[in-house]
């Protein structure tokens, strides 16, 4: 086989791989059907007199590192305007040590963020969050103001509609409920959803 032919085949393989990776990074996960009102049976704490943000993450989802970076920016930009909790899924059969990954440590290091273990995804199920990175913002009366993701793509940090919506809502620049696509892996608590290979490690 000629070198030019080999080079052509190699280039085609590389380009195809690049296209598939780009498509994957831009593919949003299911948005779920979050409740319009804060579920009263939830173990999540709703701070009185403040808006409450709840985020659900898979502790092994590589896409979610960027989400935590955006959460850190939110905490800095809107200090004192909301409380924030991150719930990490602990699938049945997995230990708490498995949950407390580097993502857990990253979340716990963000000032003002409370980090929790969500055993068997019971809280995620209650809030109907199905994709890692799913973020919900409820107002002081417990009404849902925002649902979705706070990154522009899987693992992509930078300006994005989700973070902009939340900042605008908290600063009362907009008053209507908003949503944005959520980019991440399946949380895995739904039997019909499979975790990605990376998340199973």
Inside any domain, residue 2: no
CATH number at 181 reads: 3.40.30.10
**Structural domain for 153, as ranges:** 30-200
Inside any domain, residue 15: no
Inside any domain, residue 17: no
Give how many domains the chain has, as a whole number: 1
Contacts of 34 by beta carbon, 8 Å cutoff, 6+ apart: 127, 128, 129, 134, 136, 144, 147
Inside any domain, residue 5: no
Q: 68, 55, 30: which is closest to 151 by C-alpha?
A: 68
Inside any domain, residue 25: no
pLDDT per residue as tens, the chain (201 positions): 566 565 554 455 444 433 334 344 456 688 888 989 999 999 999 989 999 999 999 999 999 999 999 999 999 999 999 999 999 999 989 998 999 999 999 999 999 999 999 999 999 999 999 999 999 999 999 999 999 999 998 677 889 999 999 999 999 999 999 999 999 999 987 655 554 544 544
């Amino acid at each position: 086989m000629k070198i030019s032919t080999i080079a052509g085949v190699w280039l085609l393989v590389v380009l195809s791989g690049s296209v598939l990776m780009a498509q994957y990074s831009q593919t949003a996960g299911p948005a779920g059907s979050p409740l319009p009102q804060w579920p009263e049976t939830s173990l999540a704490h709703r701070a009185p007199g403040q808006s409450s943000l709840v985020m659900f993450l898979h502790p092994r989802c590589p896409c979610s590192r960027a989400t935590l970076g955006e959460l850190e920016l939110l905490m800095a930009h809107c200090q004192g305007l909301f409380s924030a909790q991150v719930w990490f899924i602990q699938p049945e059969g997995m230990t708490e040590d498995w949950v407390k990954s580097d993502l857990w440590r990253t979340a716990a290091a963000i000032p003002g963020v409370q980090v929790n273990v969500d055993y068997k995804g019971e809280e995620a199920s209650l809030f109907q969050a199905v994709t890692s990175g799913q973020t919900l913002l409820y107002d002081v009366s417990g009404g849902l103001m925002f649902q979705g993701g706070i990154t522009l793509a899987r693992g992509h940090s930078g300006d994005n509609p989700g973070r902009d919506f939340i900042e605008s809502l908290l600063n009362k620049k907009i008053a209507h409920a908003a949503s944005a696509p959520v980019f991440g892996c399946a949380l895995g608590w739904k039997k019909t959803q499979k975790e990605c290979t990376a998340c199973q490690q």
